[in-house]
Structure 1
């Protein structure tokens, strides 16, 4: 098992201010925060990014930048704005969305997939110049909405600075989850952690402890060499108390 440290995606608390989120994460004993580009660290607003970077550093939290750049719909100039925010934030990693958002991978032509891979390759190269890694969201209605498409995409990108996230589609069985990580785990940087059913109803993470423990134990060795984070994303009722319970559960999962 590759060692993961506990973290938080700030989209979990979209309505809370950054200083309160940092306080919650530090109080829960987490190691990192992925700041949402559509809520707390707007793309291209470097003064805010620097301010939140200082808040994070003071709280002892490593940072990642959760952008909503979606190549090839978004081009390199748009990516550079997000990258500038990531750098100002002090983030070592920037997340992007592969392909046009809200579009299934099966609907892409061969040439469209080629264009997406080329755009992401260029973004990975640009980020590498600044010591920032690029990770692709692993999500329904994207070019990483399934294992086969994700693997084909990462193989087409062919860039050492581009990685995959992993998260289960809501309701994904443990057997299917284990099959997915076996196939793409060598490319995985970080994971997003939650407990949802197929209807997207949220449950305490404790109810999925065995599921997540099995998945993380089975995660293959990765070409990723930096710190790795298992980041909580969304909690029941957006409740800070539910967050503290889930954070405690996550730390227990990662300790075993």
Structure 2
């Protein structure tokens, strides 16, 4: 049975200082933090990344990943190297990246090839540091659809590439779970939130049947996976502790 490791995405508290992120994650009895590259861990700033690594460890937590905003398909080698260097300083075992800038239905063959080529370059450089790479599953990217995601993973063809999973916006529970079933062998981590309908933010328990069913699927193999609390209603920091308690309860066998 696979182990599900509960954690926090620092983007949940993007307007709050890193010290508060660490303190809240520890108070919530979470195990790990995915540090975001937009504010908390800017790409290329290795000193800040090293400081975050120390703060995280001092609180008894691990670093789950470097949540970069690198958009494969339109990056240069220097940006890739800066991202890998920051992840290395952070002690992150995984880098999250984005699969381009356009929906899979709109992407030309050349754009798909460019995304795959950038990702291969990222994977090769990350592999030298013992780091894996995983795509954000998100609308308006090449991972907005399971079939497109699987095709992209096949095109990249690297052993250290995978994908995240999250319930697609506006998708009912059964259909969302079908996307998890399709991607499950490649899922490295999960972003947990309850948006319904569309992007209306709700408390986790309001989609408890979805998350209980997702947890059951994630436990079907022996791999450990991070399940990371990503958003809370109104970005309210006082909700992190109760939402983390709900997350643990929903993931329980």
Tell whether the structures are fold-level matches, with TM greater than 0.5.
yes
Q: Is residue 5–residue 254 contact of structure 1 (8 Å, CA) maintained in 2?
A: no
Partner Cα separation in structure 1 for residue 89 and residue 106 of structure 2: 36
Q: Does 1:154 align with 2:142?
A: no
Equivalence for 2:228: 231
Equivalence for 1:44: 44
Deviation by residue 1:112-159 (Cα, 9 ceiling, x = unmatched): 212211221121111011011111111111110111111111111111
Query: Counterparts in 2 of 1:11-90, with a 5 A limit?
Result: 11-63=11-63, 64-90=65-91
Equivalence for 2:131: 132
Q: Is residue 4–residue 219 contact of structure 2 (8 Å, CA) maintained in 1?
A: no
SS at match of 2:122: helix
Equivalence for 1:5: 5
SS at match of 2:99: coil
SS at match of 1:106: coil
SS at match of 2:163: strand
- Tell me how many residue pairs correspond in the alignment: 252
Partner Cα separation in structure 2 for residue 168 and residue 143 of structure 1: 16
Partner Cα separation in structure 1 for residue 85 and residue 235 of structure 2: 30
Residues 129 and 230 from structure 1, CA distance in 2 versus in 1: closer, same or farther, beyond 3 angstroms?
Answer: same
| Stretch deviating more after TM superposition (116-125 or 18-27) | 116-125
Equivalence for 1:94: 95
Partner Cα separation in structure 2 for residue 51 and residue 177 of structure 1: 37
Partner Cα separation in structure 1 for residue 109 and residue 9 of structure 2: 33
